[in-house]
Amino acid sequence: MSLDQLIEKCKKNDTKAQGELYKLFSSKLFSICLKYSRNTVEAEDNLQDAFVTIFKKISQYKNKGAFEGWIKRITINTALVRYRSKGVFNIVNENEIEDQAVEIEDEDISIDYLLHIIQELPDRYRLVFNLYVLDGYSHKEIANLLHITTGTSKSNLSRARHILKHKIETHQAKLSSQSL
Amino acid sequence: MSDKKHIDRLFQEKLKDFEARPGDSVWENITTELEFNKKQNKVVPLWLKITGIAASLLLLFSLGNKIFNLSEPIIEDNVVNTLPDTESIDNENATVKNSIELDTNESENIANEETSTKRPLELNRKLNLTTLGKPDNNVTISKTSNSIDNTTLKMASKVLKETFAKQEETIAQTDLNTDFVINNLVKTKVSNESNDDSIIRELSPQNTSEGRVITDNDSKEISNSKTLVTDNEVEEKLSLTNVLAATNEDESIKNEKDKIDRWSVSPNIAPVYYNTLGKGSHIDEQFVNSTKTGEYNTSYGINIAYAINEKLSVRSGVHNVNLSYDTNNVILFEDLSNNSFTNLLRNTNHLKNITLSDNTQNIAALNGSDLIVQESMGLFPNENAAISQRIGYYEIPVELQYGIVNKDFGVNLIGGFSTFLLNNNEVFSEFQERRNYIGKANNINNISFSANFGVGLDYKFSDNFKFNFEPTFKYQINAFNETSGNFKPYIIGVYTGFSFKF
């Protein structure tokens, strides 16, 4: 069955088709959820909410543009709704930190570890970092999505990078001391 | 050695193809949630809503009625309702009753005994008596209940209640009731004890007659059981209030849900255009082919609408409609001389459907576009007059409005009918800005109807305040009782106004 047929069946609330669609995309969308959430449990919650939204709104999908892009946006948005109001206070964020090149040695760092430190970031830093670095949103778009200013978005990103860099370096130092 | 690279690139590269399988519970949760949503979204059919509302209102009224008349009727009702509670009890009753019917003397004996003694012990004896008298039935009785169980006790108390309610009835009646009591008690006390002396004593005829006298004490017995009854009464009242509370709750929930403001009032005004579909004249045959002009007039009034649901509403109202319609190119002349020519003219060319007023009795009308007339009179068509008919109605529409688009900007379909009550009927002659009243039409029905169809556009300023714009076509069905040619009048109105919901 082609994806289009599957979508059509999902529009008619066909449970079997919904299951197929879930099988097809759940892993991809779950990776997004993991990156945008604080932990696996919350990521699963987000995935659940995202799929429920997808199935409810699938009739609104007019076959314009990639379906995958559409469901990814829904998934990201689900996470944004969950986290954008929480967490980081606005007081600190207006001072833009000078965005110097944050370089790091590319040694064997596991995906799990990277994911872990992303999840550990404060909510807003995590969202901004994900949106900007991993999903290619501009600061302007991020500002709109998170109801913040572009300055805040830039500053959040910069802080996120520094936190991540620091963590990776500590991690690397630990690893090398262990291997010595 | 590895190179240094930007942290963004590191993450991008590493996480580019990252995928992870979620736990199995996620899909289960999704299906449950979707299922739940589906159930919630199931649309309750309209008829169910309406009958539901009607039923709950009925229930509310009837319960309310009972609560306010809370005295005897309630007890009676309860008895009636609760008596046939369980079939088994009835069946048991029947068996016991049978046994008693087989020997009337015996049953009477039992009845009277019961009323005089009131002691369970003795009841036991009576029971034994029954079993003694009817060895055949013994088996059935002992089978049905060997111990006192609550339901039968309750049953007994209900019967007592019944007795209480009908206290004022004849003794015979109470007798019967006590029979019932015994039947039940007998049931509760069934045992296979061996017979003793007392049973034999009770069997004796003296006792029977004694018992009969004692029947009058029935009421005493009943008064004893009163406490039971009142207990039950309280119970029943409680349950009633519970039911009532529940219904009230239901209602309030429903009300909250239904908080779409159902009523709305919309004053409106409309330019109305009156014309005819066919070729014809409502004045006289000779004008069937004359040019006629529909005129713009006004209609104003107020509508009240009731929303059945979010899309469908019923509305009615009152409008004052003024219509006018001109028949052009008419030659009107007035000749007071009484010669044969004018008389002939008057008789042949009178306006069939117009009753002339007193001071215009001498008017005759000719069709100005008639060439012969033009020549003979030596007149030019453009000098001719028009006959202008003014009609006023009170219009009472009954219309259904169905919303197609229900956003800030709304689109509705409107269909229905109107009743027109004639309130103004005048005919004027119009000639070069001069207008003279000449009489009134005699062929306009006092009550007429129209079929209405329209499209409504509205714009919501707020939830309760809307601007309406409704071009509506109204086809008049029996406006005139006699017309010439094919005169089919219609009205087009562009109803404009505001509506307020409340």
The domain segmentation of chain B, as residue ranges, is: 73-240, 261-501
Mean predicted confidence (pLDDT) in A49-76: 88
* Residues A156 and A97 occupy one common structural domain: yes
Contacts of B34 in chain A (CB under 8 A): 13, 15, 18, 52, 55-56
Taking an 8 Å cut-off on Cβ atoms, the answer to whether A103 and B7 are in contact is: yes
Contacts of B38 in chain A (CB under 8 A): 13
Q: What is the mean pLDDT of chain B?
A: 66
Question: Residue A163's domain spans which residues?
Answer: 91-179
Q: What is the pLDDT of residue A99?
A: 56
* Residues A76 and A95 occupy one common structural domain: no
Q: What is the pLDDT of residue A140?
A: 93
Contacts of B33 in chain A (CB under 8 A): 48, 52
Number of compact structural domains in chain A: 2
Give the tens place of pLDDT for each residue, A121-140: 998 899 999 999 999 999 99
Q: What is the pLDDT of residue B463?
A: 79
Taking an 8 Å cut-off on Cβ atoms, the answer to whether B15 and A134 are in contact is: yes
Taking an 8 Å cut-off on Cβ atoms, the answer to whether B2 and A105 are in contact is: yes
Positions in chain B whose pLDDT score sits under 50: 1, 72-149, 152, 167-175, 177-178, 181-182, 184-230, 247, 253-258, 380-382
Contacts of A137 in chain B (CB under 8 A): none
Q: What is the pLDDT of residue B210?
A: 41
* Residues A32 and A79 occupy one common structural domain: yes
* Residues A61 and A110 occupy one common structural domain: no
CB A85 within 8 A of CB A48: no
Q: What is the pLDDT of residue A178?
A: 79
* Residues A67 and A18 occupy one common structural domain: yes
Percent of chain B whose predicted confidence (pLDDT) is above 90:
4
Of all residues in chain A, what percent are helix, strand and coil, respectively (each to 5)?
Answer: 75, 0, 25
* CATH number for the domain that contains residue A167: 1.10.10.10
Contacts of A15 in chain B (CB under 8 A): 31, 34
**Of A83, A106, A121, which residue constitutes the final position of a domain?**
A83
CA-based nearest distance A42→chain B, Å: 11
| Mutate: best of A103, A126, A139, A165, partner B, most B CBs <10 A | A103
DSSP reduced 3-state for B240: helix
Taking an 8 Å cut-off on Cβ atoms, the answer to whether B21 and A18 are in contact is: no
CA-based nearest distance B407→chain A, Å: 17
* Residues A96 and A62 occupy one common structural domain: no
* Residues A169 and A112 occupy one common structural domain: yes
Mean predicted confidence (pLDDT) in A36-51: 93
Nearest-angstrom CA–CA distance, B333 and B355: 16
* Residues A66 and A117 occupy one common structural domain: no
Query: What does the H/E/C string look like for B387-448?
Result: EEEEEEEEEEEEEEEEEEEECCEEEEEEEEEEEEEEEEEEEEEEECCEEEEEEEECCECCEE
* Residues A172 and A149 occupy one common structural domain: yes
Q: What is the pLDDT of residue A54?
A: 92
Q: How many other C-beta atoms lie within 10 A of the C-beta of residue B498?
A: 14
* The CATH fold of domain B261-501: Porin (2.40.160)
**Of A83, A105, A131, which residue constitutes the final position of a domain?**
A83
* Residues A102 and A135 occupy one common structural domain: yes
Q: What is the pLDDT of residue B280?
A: 73
Q: What is the pLDDT of residue B292?
A: 77
Nearest-angstrom CA–CA distance, B395 and B78: 53
**Of A62, A83, A104, which residue constitutes the final position of a domain?**
A83
Taking an 8 Å cut-off on Cβ atoms, the answer to whether B15 and A26 are in contact is: no
CA-based nearest distance B33→chain A, Å: 7
Mean predicted confidence (pLDDT) in A90-96: 49
What is the predicted ipTM?
Answer: 0.88
Mean predicted confidence (pLDDT) in A161-167: 90
Distances (CA, A) of A50 to A41, B30, B358: 14, 9, 85
